[in-house]
A and B are shown apart, each in its own frame.
Chain A
Amino acid sequence: MAEKPEIIDESGDKYKYGFVTNIESETVPKGLNEDIIRLISRKKGEPEWLLEKRLAAYRFWLNMKEPTWAKLSYDKINYQDLFYYAAPKQKAAPQSLNEVDPALLDTYNKLGIPLKEQEVLAGVVAVDAVFDSVSVATTYRAKLAEQGIIFCSISEAVKNHPDLVQKYLGSVVPYTDNFFACLNSAVFTDGSFVYIPKGVKCPMELSTYFRINAKNTGQFERTLIVADEGSYVSYLEGCTAPQRDENQLHAAIVEIVVLKDAEVKYSTVQNWYPGDKDGKGGVYNFVTKRAACRGDNAKVSWTQVETGSAVTWKYPSCILQGDNSCGEFYSVAITNNRQQADTGTKMIHIGKNTRSKIISKGISAGFSNQTYRGLVKVAPKAFNARNYSQCDSLLIGSTCGSHTVPYVENRCRSAVLEHEATTSKISDEQLFYCKQRGIGEEEAVSLIVNGFCKEVMQQLPMEFAIEAAKLINISLTGSIG
């Protein structure tokens, strides 16, 4: 961890340098106004209705105020000082692994990512590698298309499946929803679109892993997943390695529509650049994620492992409209150094016999601060609604903070709601027990932390779970002693 400041310095320089070269190629000018939005829309060859939507969002955004209710403190963001459309930073990329910071490579080694992949992740973009991953995607796409599954970027979807996009885009998160969602609605650049037709169980896990690395999409992603009646899909999002490419502001939207009897499982491992140990740099992650269970017996499950970002503001939510629909939220959030995370979920029970479950595990270390903020709301007609929430926090060191702010609003007599939260630390006895058996202190901490998070980690797909467990260890390096 001692080398970390160096990473910042170098990448900080690189950041500036990168944009200078990019302006000549694929970047629209700095700042935000209607012309920039028109330019983005034109560059992407969008239809008129989408441009109108963007402009409407922008005009609405102008009158919105940045929310201040979260327990976060960060420098004011100057929205006119950002690039709203940035293409791959090819010229800025290091030419070989020798130019990449050794500390970063060390991290990759710990993660067990093979050399070839390391090159891709570090931004040493071997041209064929990019093509490789694109072709991989296409192979899968053909295979998926056989079953009628659409999996493509949102820009392609706008061109090829305008009816679907027009019907569902913004239907779960309207642009009026919140400040960051509104900004995203005005300037979103790319993201993915998934449509699973009636009765189809998606044969493989869909992932944005390759796509983001290959295309280096910017700060404003937009994901839309539609699961038609009786379908199933498991979707993985995020990168499991530190992004070299640090965005200052990341304001994404994920919308999920789940129709009758369908199920969507959405897993995220978020590891954006967290800034250095003094809190310099790092990503501001303001994400709006929401799923609507529109039909009866619909099910949605969010699983997230949050280890990165300097500031996280994220509340994956479930609107349980259909009778017997079910929402789940499993979260592990780890903050170290000066990281801040204000995260949680919203479960809105509208239909009868709706169920929701919240398991949130927060680990704070160093000087970090973490807040669980959740809402469970039961409408008057949500008979027999059921919620169980559990929020556990683990504090490592006496300089970090851990907060819990659950909101429970019940307007239905037959609803049964339970919420519990605990706060604890790694006890000296636990550490002593491990050390006595020859396990080093750091190893012991990671053992205990992994045990603490087990309930959530079990929800992750296999390959994700292994990487996430390693990621947790890395995030906590240097937090003891």
Chain B
Amino acid sequence: MGGLIQDIKLIGADLPKLEALREKGRNSFLNQGLPTAKTEAWKYTRVRELAGDDFVMEETCGKVCDKEHSSCCCQGKCALPFDAYEIHFCNGKLKEDHFHLPEGVQAMPLIDAVTENETTAFLNKSFEMQNFPFAALNTAYLEQGVFLRVARGVCPDKPLAFIHHSHGGVKRFANLRNIVVLETGAQATLIEAYQYSGEVKSEYFNNIVNEIFIGRQAVLRHYKVQSEALKAVHIALNAVKVRENGLYESFCRQKGANLARQETHVVLQESGAEAIVNAVYMMNGWATLDTTTDIEHPAQNTRSNQLVKGVVGGQAKGVFQGKIHIAPNAVQTEGYQLHKALLLSDEAEVDVKPELEIFADDVKCSHGATCGELDAEQLFYLQSRGIGAEEARQMLIEAFVDESFQLIKDDNIRHWMKRF
């Protein structure tokens, strides 16, 4: 397994439950091994090379990253252009453990939450390790991350934000686990941003798992921007559970990294639960960007909707895998899914697998997938009106992805995501 499994000292070794869980994660990962082309869920995304890489896993020096590192990042670049309650991470570690948060919103370093038994009902409860090799690996190194809880009925006035910053230098492998809990009736917006400083060609590997629990009537709007360094690896899992009449709405924009995968696994546990999972990926170069969704409808009267758009140029590869699973007797459910991709160059590639798995008859389900290049007629139309070829292309590309961005209701967030 190369540099992915290492013996390093983690905080919390004195907590037997945590140690046992780490051990389980480690064994689960070793049993599965790295996914290969034969692993159905990873058919199009090759991660084999990771095995040969020698990653550096930093021994911990506490709950927050040391001063030496934190001095190099940020410098105002990380800040959002609008007001938000920000929690900063540097190289996969919390920058500080004092947070400025409104009343009713509680946050603490994950390890503290584990120590105080706050996480018992949540930690590793939103996914099965045997289906997610990288989440199993993440479990083996459980330590860093944040536990965030929005209390019953609380609606923070500003978005909550996780701002991640990585910087070059050593070839670092960071595992991060966040737990987000919305209690009954709570409503919040969560922003997640991944960026880097220093060398564009920095090599590092961020392995992130967010476990999200949405209570009855609660609403979480989750916006993510992934703009890692060009040689970075970014593998993220959002494992979400939604209870009665809850709503999970997410929008993920991916544009960086050499190998990135955003996997969203939603379980609509109870009647009335709803999920909206949208994404846009745009890239050039040699990158592989993977968007994978798996929406489970185990309960009656649940709804899901997905719109994923991709623009692929250079020698890049775009991957979309989407699955809607409707359990027996989960009647009156609706599941829609649409993927559209635009190929800009002769060497670009798009691989798509939209899957429906339906075990009940009284359902409305559909999926669609299209793939093509810019419409020559539209280009001609613009050019015939005096718009240069390149500008016309840009306009059409922007119009193509704009359909997705329009789904973001908040103006500030939409502008920020578009310009990122």
Contacts and interface: CB of A to CB of B under 8 A. Distances in A.
Interface residues of A, number: 34
A401 B364 CA distance: 14
Contacts of B369: 406, 408, 417-420
A409 B358 contact: no
A399 B328 contact: yes
Nearest to B375: A416
Contacts of B347: 380, 411
Contacts of A408: 350-353, 369, 371
A398 B368 contact: no
A335 interface: no
Nearest to B320: A408
A413 interface: yes
Interface residues of B, number: 37
Interface in B359-404: 359-373
A412 B344 CA distance: 10
Interface in B304-362: 328-329, 331, 341, 343-362
A97 to B, nearest CB: 39
Interface in A93-110: none
A407 interface: yes
Given A409-B349, A410-B351, A420-B366, A395 B343 contact: no
Contacts of B359: 400-401
B346 A413 contact: yes
B365 A405 contact: no
B373 A413 contact: yes
B14 interface: no
B351 A409 contact: yes
B411 interface: no
B40 interface: yes
Given A398-B328, A419-B369, A420-B366, A407 B353 contact: yes
B367 A404 contact: yes
B142 to A, nearest CB: 33
A421 interface: yes
A417 B360 contact: no
A269 interface: no
A216 to B, nearest CB: 39
B361 A417 contact: no
A114 to B, nearest CB: 38
A409 B343 CA distance: 12
A255 B356 CA distance: 31
B304 to A, nearest CB: 14
Interface in A395-442: 395-425
Interface of B: 40, 44, 328-329, 331, 341, 343-373
Given A404-B355, A406-B369, A413-B373, 7 more contacts: A395-B358, A395-B360, A403-B356, A406-B353, A410-B349, A416-B372, A423-B358
A-B CB proximity, top 6 nearest: A395-B361, A408-B352, A404-B356, A425-B361, A423-B365, A417-B371
